[in-house]
Each structure stands twice: as structure tokens, then as C-alpha cells.
Chain A
Amino acid sequence: MNLELSDEQIALRDTVRSFLSEKASIAGHVRPMLDDPTGTTEAVWRGLADLGTTGLLVPSEYDGAGMTMVEAGIVAEELGAGLYPGPWLSSAVTAVRALTRFGVDSSAAAPLFAGIANGSSIVTVGPLDGVRPTAVEARDGVLLRGAIEKIWDVAAADVLLVLADEPDGTGLFAVKTSTPGIEAPSQTGIDQTRKEFRVTLDDTPTRRLAAAPPEAVEALVDDVVIAWAADALGAARAVLNLAVEYAKVRRQFGQPIGAFQAVQHLCVDMYETVELARSGVIHALWAADATDRAERHLAAMRAKAFAGQLASVADNAIQVFGGIGYTWEHDAHLYLKRLLSWNGFLGGPDRYLVDVGAKFAESVLH
């Protein structure tokens, strides 16, 4: 029983935190990237790779850092706190875990792992839910046909890992984004720090990497949910801190607004929500690599089920800021949008709450 961060984990957190504040601040990097479909610059991506953050989940037998989701979560939390708009979650977590969870052959996995780790390649994966494209056997190889309704970071990526239906189940396929015939219009929603796309594949030549059995797909989706939850925790923590600091210095009626109990209690409610979220996130990050399938999956469902309440932290922060929080110029809305996109990711919280309730009832009655 030890839930504290180790010295190495604290060093990782602090390194990422200071890199973001120096090289990828909200004013200097995030805002200029809001309308950029890649969400990143060469320099910032290179910087994140040089810090080792893109290769931290790459297994050590592939010369990666071989770290766990706990370390990935530490990085994700900082990226969320800094509203980082680039493809880190897609490439460093989703793609790496897909290659790992589906047991892709070393001959195919090694170059992908190497490119992701050193930053020369950006890889994204989809679809994580909904209808999948179909893999069709043709005379000179396998072709992908159909659409991916939602996939992140396609403009930044050079490789897509596609989950596609095949006659006996589901497989994982690799496609270069430069392949002719791929259409990928931007579908970014209110959260401009998340670059979302719809991809159509029109008999696109592809390479099959591995089978993707349902348990492995579930495990991958759980990994992604858990990493996003850590990102959302970071966003909520950051906007809470901004609001609390503002309440200490903003004066009305001759005193700081933070001296009013009504404001204090609002801040404590936000803090309570953030700390509950942190509890869920650290448990889920640990569960992702250390427990059985059922516990990991339940931890991921809980994280999604809590997403609605977590978004309320940004709503309440805007309330603390008052009028200034309602402006485009202020960063509060960027945090609200980040948290709302987490809320909507793979469906809103209600059905996850129902699932968590059903699981609890089942655990009592069986």
C-alpha cells in the first residue's frame, strides 16, 4: 500500500510541467494551435519526444522506457493541465497500447515503436467504438473499405492503425495517411484542443498487423479511457487552481471574494470533485497494468461515469471568475471545453453510471 509518487515519477511530472510552461504555454502555443488541424509544431513535438514522453509506454524489449500507465497518466495529467492540443494521447498511448494489446509481430511493431518513441512518426488509432470499416481480400492484397466516424489527430499522423471487420472477427491494419484515396475532413467540435476527424477509406491498400479479439479491444479502449481521464483530471485541477487564486486577489465590497463563505464552499466543492477524480484516476492507472480484466474495466467505466461531475469543476470555476470567465480572452472556457469533450468521449456518463450500478448489484447478488 503506497499511493505516493516516487522520486522518479515526481521528476517526470516536473520536467513535463516546466517544458509545457516554457515551450508550449497556453498563450504561446495552445491558442495559436486552436485552428491548426495538426495541433502541434515540429519543435514542440520534438521536445516531447526528447523528454522521453512519446516512448514511455514502449516495451523495453523494443528499446522503449517500458513504463506503465501510471507514468503515462502523470504525463497526461500535465498535458491536460496545460491544454496541450497535439497528438500525444493518440500516438504515445493509443497506438503504443494497440501494438502491445494486440500482440503485433515484432517485425511489424519494431519500426512503429521506434518511430513513435523518437518522435519521427505520429500514429493514431480508430475507430474505438461504433461501426468499423471492412477489410476486403483483393488480388494483390488487403483493402480497407468504409468510414471511421471519429478518429483523433489524423492531420498530424503519418500512420493510421485501423480496426476493421474481417470475415472471422476484427483485425488491426496499418495505413499510411499519405495513401491516395483517403479523405479525412476535420470534425473538430467545441474543444479545439482535440483534433477530431472523419476518415473515409475507398478500397485503400493496407497491411494486416494482427487479430483484434474483443477482450483486447476492450483492454485498449480501457487504456485510452483511463489516459483521457488523467488528462481531464489535469484540466480540472488547473482550472480549480486558477479559480482559487483568483478568489484570493479579486476584491469586491472591500475584501477578497474568497473570504465569502458562498465562494469558499463553491471552491471546496470543486476541490472535492477534483480529489475524488484523482482517487479514481490513480486507481485506474494502477489497475490498467496491475489487475485482472474485470477490475480494470470497471475502473475505466467509473472514470467515464464521473466525467459529468468533473466537467462541473470548470462550470463552477467560471462562476467564481464571474464576467471575466465568460470571455474568449480568458482560458476558463478552454478548460470547460476540454472537460466537455471528455464528458462526450465514447458517450455521456449516464449509461456508464447505469453500468456501474448494475455491476455493484451483480457483485452483491452473485
Chain B
Amino acid sequence: MDFSYPPEVEQVRKELRAWLAANLNDDVVAAGRRRGRDDASFQTLRTWNSTMADAGWAAVSWPQEYGGRGATVLEQLVYAEETTRARVPVALNVIGMNNIAPAIMQYGTEAQKRTLLPRMMRADDIWCQGMSEPEAGSDLASLRTRALRDGDHFVVNGQKIWTSLGYRADWCQLYVRTDPDAPKHKGISCLIVDMSLPGIEVRPLVTLSGEADFAEVFFNDVRVPADALLGPVNGGWQIATTTLSHERAGAARLYTEMQVRLADLVADLADARIDNRPVLEDAITLRRLGQIALRIKYLEVLCQRSISAILHGGDAFGSASLAKTIWGEVGQDIAALAFDLLGSHAEGRRWADYRLTSRSLTIAGGTTQINKNITAQRVLGLPRS
């Protein structure tokens, strides 16, 4: 039983810290908070992503031949901890780098790998993923967007929703139905689609916070060249569900993100008062803070357990899926505490905004309820309902 990291990993931490101290500035951090919603912050993030890529810090988990560092699991963990603690903005192409790139590395042609990957890493191209549809949310395999083969093209018709960066994207990894007669998991293919093709219409999807953080993407007789196919025809479900990602320490972001958020909240509460006393001396506030800090610490250890399992051949599944659920609940608890204490207007409405956007933490990437069904059946062995 040992929670400490080996010295060679601490060395990577030191190098990264030094590089961040020299290169990361407040403008970049602020642009990260705005998540590139406006053009100015988007441009700042794009430049920052290329700066990181050129220094070899953009995609540390990628193999070296594609511009990564082939980082070990513990190096990835330290990378996630340090970048999150330093408030490094999440890469614009985070979905691309973690989920799309590994599929391109495994299934793509040489031409696809050489042209697409370096530009993705530098954020020269922006990537989106076309998965969810209005009638295919948690039940992704029931997607309906059709692609019909017509000579050396596919003709695509349908609609995608919840597409992050849809309105900025140059490329889309699109999941389409190519065999409507096959069982639903066996008729799906994956295409790499140029978003400038005629017939693609992108509409902003305004969320409950009033921001267009997602898009709806409509495909009307879009003619996609046949060589846009990634992997085998009707082999798309495999690509969508197999964890091809080289990123193994993503769990570290879960607890570090919440540590950082709670620390930011405490800093914002430092001067706040309740009944003319400092809020941080109020027992009820401290109890709520303690409840959250406790869960974050236990979440941290839960994540470390899943990483230890990856390293030493234990079972990572149970702790990893719990970690996602707990992360979402902790985020919502922080948001509620912040809003209860600070109200609507504090810190440029940052906490009010988080009070709203934190609802997505238990929805995006699989709702907590579906996650619990999976845990009940796969981990506890309860019968299917």
C-alpha cells in the first residue's frame, strides 16, 4: 500500500510546472473560463493550444510518432493534476484528442493520420463529434442519421444534437446508419466529414444558461466522399464503444477539477459575511464545506484506486464509473453552496452560471441513472430490469 508517486514522475511534474510558470498567463486562464464562447477568447485559446503543442505538452498520452510523449499512466495523472491546478484551459479539441484521434490512429489511412492529427493537436482544425440525436440520447445505438452509398460518395441525411463546437468545427466524426436492416448495433458506420460541404447546416443550441455551448447539425443530401469512411462499413459501433483512448488518467481531472473549484469558492468566500460574521466561521457553512471536501478527498482516492488497478492488474471498472457519478454530484453540491452563500451577482455571475451549468454534470456523457443501471447489473450482478 503506497500512495506516493515515484521520483521520475515527480520530475515530469517539476518540468511541467516550470514550463507553465513561464508560459501560462492570466489572459489564457480567463479565456478558458469563457470557454472560447466569444471570438476573442476562442482565438486566445487557439493560440495557446498551438503553443502547448509546439512545446510537446498538448497531447502527452499520444504516441511520440504523432507528436505526443507516450506518457505513462502516472505521468498522465501528474499532467492532469498540474494542468488542472494551474487552471490551464481545457484544450479546444479535447474530445478530438481523447476520443477521435485514437480511432484515426487505429483505423485511419496514412493520409488521414498525417494530415489530420498534427492540425488537430495545434487546434489549426477544430473537431466535433456527431453522436447524439434527438431520438438517440442515452440509447445511442438507435441513431437514425442515414448514409446511402452512391458511387464514390455517401449521401447523408439526418440531424445531430448536443454537438460541442459544432459552429466552429472544420471536421466532424460522424456516426451514421449505413444498414437500416441490420440489428441496431450492427448497421452503424463512422465518417470523417468536412464541415464545409454543401448541405450541412449548423444552428446554435442555446442552453439554460443562455449560452450557445452546443449546436444542432443538420445534414441535407450531403455528398461525402467514400474515402471519408473510418474503419469498416457497419463497424462504427465498435469504434464508438471500444475505449481506444490513450488517455488513462482522465480520472485525475475529476478530483482535481473539484479541488480547484472548491478552493476557488473558499477564496471567494474569504471576505463574505453572514449575520455580520465571516462566513468561514459559520458552523453550518463549514459543515457543508466539510461534507464536500470529504467527498472530494474520497473521490481522489477512488480515482487513484482505478489508476492503481490499471497499473497493477486490478479491476478498474467499478471505481471508474462510480467516480463519474460522484464527480457530478460533488460539482452540483459546490454550485449549490456557492449560490446559497453568494447569490446571483458574485464574481461576474460566475457562481450563478455554475449553479445552472452544473446540471449537465449528471447528464452529459451518460446520465447518472443510466450509469447506476450499468453499475447495478455489471458490478453488483443484479438482473436486468
Contacts and interface: CB of A to CB of B under 8 A. Distances in A.
Interface of A: 1-5, 70, 244, 247-248, 255-256, 258-261, 263-265, 267-269, 271-272, 275-277, 279-280, 282-283, 285-286, 290, 302, 305-306, 350, 352-361, 364-365
Which 4 A-B residue pairings sit nearest by Cβ, starting from the closest?
Answer: A357-B290, A357-B289, A279-B301, A264-B376
Nearest to B2: A2
Interface centre among A263, A275, A305 (most CB of B within 10 A): A275
Q: Is the interface of A mostly helix, strand, loop or mixed?
A: helix
B383 A357 contact: no
Interface string B299-326: 1111011011101111000110010011
A157 B304 CA distance: 40
Nearest to B325: A272
B40 to A, nearest CB: 30
Contacts of A258: 376, 382-383
Interface of B: 1-6, 74, 262-263, 266-267, 269-270, 280, 283, 285-291, 293-295, 297-302, 304-305, 307-309, 311-314, 318-319, 322, 325-326, 369, 372-373, 375-377, 379-385
A364 B263 CA distance: 6
Interface centre among B1, B293, B297, B314 (most CB of A within 10 A): B1
Given A256-B383, A276-B326, A283-B301, A1 B3 contact: yes
B5 A1 contact: yes
Interface centre among B263, B298, B307 (most CB of A within 10 A): B298
Contact of A275 (B263, B295, B302): B302
A261 B376 CA distance: 9
Given A267-B380, A271-B380, A280-B297, A358 B1 contact: no
Contacts of B385: 259-261, 264
Contacts of A276: 295, 298-299, 302, 326
Given A271-B322, A290-B2, 16 more contacts: A1-B3, A1-B5, A2-B311, A276-B295, A279-B300, A279-B302, A283-B297, A286-B1, A352-B290, A353-B287, A353-B291, A353-B294, A357-B288, A360-B289, A365-B266, A365-B270
A269 B288 CA distance: 20
A5 B290 CA distance: 30
A70 B373 CA distance: 33
Contacts of A350: 287
A101 to B, nearest CB: 20
Contact of A353 (B270, B290, B305): B290
A365 B4 contact: no
12 contacts: A1-B4, A1-B307, A1-B311, A3-B1, A3-B3, A264-B385, A276-B302, A279-B300, A290-B3, A353-B286, A357-B287, A357-B291
B1 A70 contact: yes
Contact of B373 (A264, A282, A283, A354): A264
Contact of A282 (B1, B267, B384): B1
A271 B267 contact: no
Given A2-B311, A267-B376, A360 B1 contact: no
Interface centre among A3, A277, A285, A356 (most CB of B within 10 A): A3
B305 A3 contact: yes
A138 B309 CA distance: 60
B285 to A, nearest CB: 7
A276 B325 CA distance: 12
A1 B299 CA distance: 16
Contacts of A1: 2-6, 74, 304, 307-308, 311
A248 B326 CA distance: 25
A244 B297 CA distance: 27
B319 A275 contact: yes
Contacts of B325: 272
A247 to B, nearest CB: 6
Contacts of B74: 1
A268 B1 contact: no
B296 to A, nearest CB: 9
Contacts of B382: 244, 247-248, 256, 258-259, 263-264, 267
Contact of A358 (B290, B305, B312, B377): B290
Contacts of B2: 1-3, 286, 290
A4 B314 contact: yes
Given A3-B305, A350-B287, A361 B1 contact: no
Contacts of B383: 248, 255-256, 258-259
B3 A360 contact: no
Contacts of A356: 290, 293-294
B343 to A, nearest CB: 20
Interface centre among B2, B289, B290 (most CB of A within 10 A): B290
A223 to B, nearest CB: 16
A319 to B, nearest CB: 15
Nearest to B266: A364
Contact of A306 (B287, B298, B312, B375): B298
Nearest to B304: A3
Contact of B286 (A3, A283, A302, A354): A354
A342 B116 CA distance: 58
Contacts of B263: 364
A68 B365 CA distance: 41
Nearest to A285: B1
Nearest to A277: B298
A349 B39 CA distance: 49
B259 to A, nearest CB: 9
Contacts of B376: 258, 261, 264-265, 267-268
Given A1-B3, A244-B380, A283-B3, A302 B283 contact: no
A265 B380 CA distance: 11
A361 B289 contact: yes
A337 B172 CA distance: 57
A174 B290 CA distance: 38
Given A267-B376, A271-B379, A361-B280, A305 B294 contact: yes
Nearest to A265: B372
